[in-house]
Amino acid sequence: MIRPQPGQAVGELALSRPSEGGLTPSEHPEADGRPGANAHDRRTRTGGHVTKVSVGPTRALPAIADRTGCGACRDGRPIFPFTMAFQPIVDLQDGRIDAHEALVRGPGGEGAGHVLDQVRPENTYAFDQACRVKAIELAARLGLDRQLSINFLPNAVYEPRACIQTTLEAAARTGFPLDRLTFEILESETIADIGHLVNIVAEYRKHGFKIALDDFATGYSGLARMAELRPDIVKIDRLLVKDCDADRHRLAIIAGMVQIGAELGIKVVVEGVERLEEVQALRSVGTRFIQGFYFAKPSFERITLDADIPWPVRPNDGAHPA
Ligand SMILES: [Ca+2]
């Protein structure tokens, strides 16, 4: 069994960009009046500077894992209340929503920070498990009929086969198809042991789950990691996308990624798109999948419908989605 290294921070997450303009709720603490974040992403506005925040104190994880690892996820210990919002990823080619990303919220709609502030080293494992169960149960109850994308902390997976059990049980209980589950790897997290990550991905693939590399182009989420993990999906971070309509360097890099994705059969999702001009520029280089406030903000305990999306319209035909 591969265990986290002594001294490795539990869930130390890079706060890697300014919060304005972000696409996943994490980058938009104030934009919709409720701070958002990836399920485990803890980012704060820091004047645009890179900041790191630890979910818990840096201490030897093995001791924590021995005490609260596999057993703690399944012993019924109550965890603080939280729920989910869902933000769509749109498919411009087919003019439909392709997937919904589950994002943690407080029970009264409080932002992700409210939830993440309650995560401690001793409940990190249970929280990770609870996030998956909550996302699946709520998605099933709301009738989500697309891909469901769930953020997870690789460091909160103790032993892949054991940690997946509650996920499998939640899917079976609710009738949610396993091949409609995507797990987004937060690459801003410090992952000391790439072998552990590869084992997780291999185990998840056996069950038909899709693997997405989140926040691509920032922190640890780069081309080398992409080559190692061979994800099904790569999500290009807002940091690279912002104002791509006016920056040929950014647009050329995105265009290159779209080409690589086409060659390798990897779905390339562009995150953080906020303006029509960005959408148009991205379309011009073949971008098909987009997530961002331009199309939809996260919906609290609700699934955005295709009809809710402001599909861009091609010039001259006025009828079909871009
Ligand atoms: Ca994410």
- Between helices 61-68 and 124-141, what is the axis angle to 10°? 60
**Which pLDDT does position 41 carry in this prediction?**
41
For the stretch 16-52, pLDDT in tens is: 222 222 223 333 333 332 223 443 444 433 332 222 2
* Rounded distance from Cα 320 to ligand 1 centre (Å): 29
* Rounded distance from Cα 101 to ligand 1 centre (Å): 7
Mean pLDDT of 312-316: 61
* Rounded distance from Cα 315 to ligand 1 centre (Å): 32
> What element of type H or E holds 181?
strand 181-186
**Which pLDDT does position 225 carry in this prediction?**
87
For the stretch 154-211, pLDDT in tens is: 877 778 888 899 999 999 999 999 999 999 997 555 666 788 889 899 999 999 999 9
* Rounded distance from Cα 316 to ligand 1 centre (Å): 35
Q: Does residue 53 have a pLDDT over 50?
A: no
**Which pLDDT does position 186 carry in this prediction?**
78
* Rounded distance from Cα 116 to ligand 1 centre (Å): 15
Mean pLDDT of 149-154: 89
136 vs 90: CA distance, rounded Å: 20
* Rounded distance from Cα 91 to ligand 1 centre (Å): 17
Q: Does residue 127 have a pLDDT over 50?
A: yes
Q: Where are the domains of the chain?
A: 12-305
* Rounded distance from Cα 236 to ligand 1 centre (Å): 10
Q: Name the band, by pLDDT with cuts 50, 70 and 90, for residue 74.
A: low
User: Tokens 């021995």 sit at which residue?
Assistant: 66
Four-residue CA torsion sign, 72, 77, 81, 84: positive
Number of residues in the chain: 322
For the stretch 92-124, pLDDT in tens is: 999 999 999 999 999 999 999 999 999 988 888
* Rounded distance from Cα 66 to ligand 1 centre (Å): 29
Backbone angles phi, psi at 192, to 5 degrees: -75, -30
Radius of gyration over every alpha carbon of the chain, rounded to an integer in angstroms: 19
CATH, domain 12-305, list 1.10.760.10, 3.40.50.2300, 3.20.20.450, 2.40.160.20: 3.20.20.450
Non-local CB neighbours of 39 within 8 Å, separated by 6+ positions: 102, 103, 104, 112, 131, 135, 150, 151, 152
For the stretch 272-288, pLDDT in tens is: 999 999 999 999 999 99
User: Tokens 């609710």 sit at which residue?
Assistant: 174
When the pLDDT of each residue in the chain is averaged and rounded to a whole number, the result is 78
Please list all protein residues whose beta carbon sits less than 5 angstroms from ligand 1, which is an ion. Answer: 38, 151, 184, 214
Better-predicted residue by pLDDT, 233 or 57 = 233
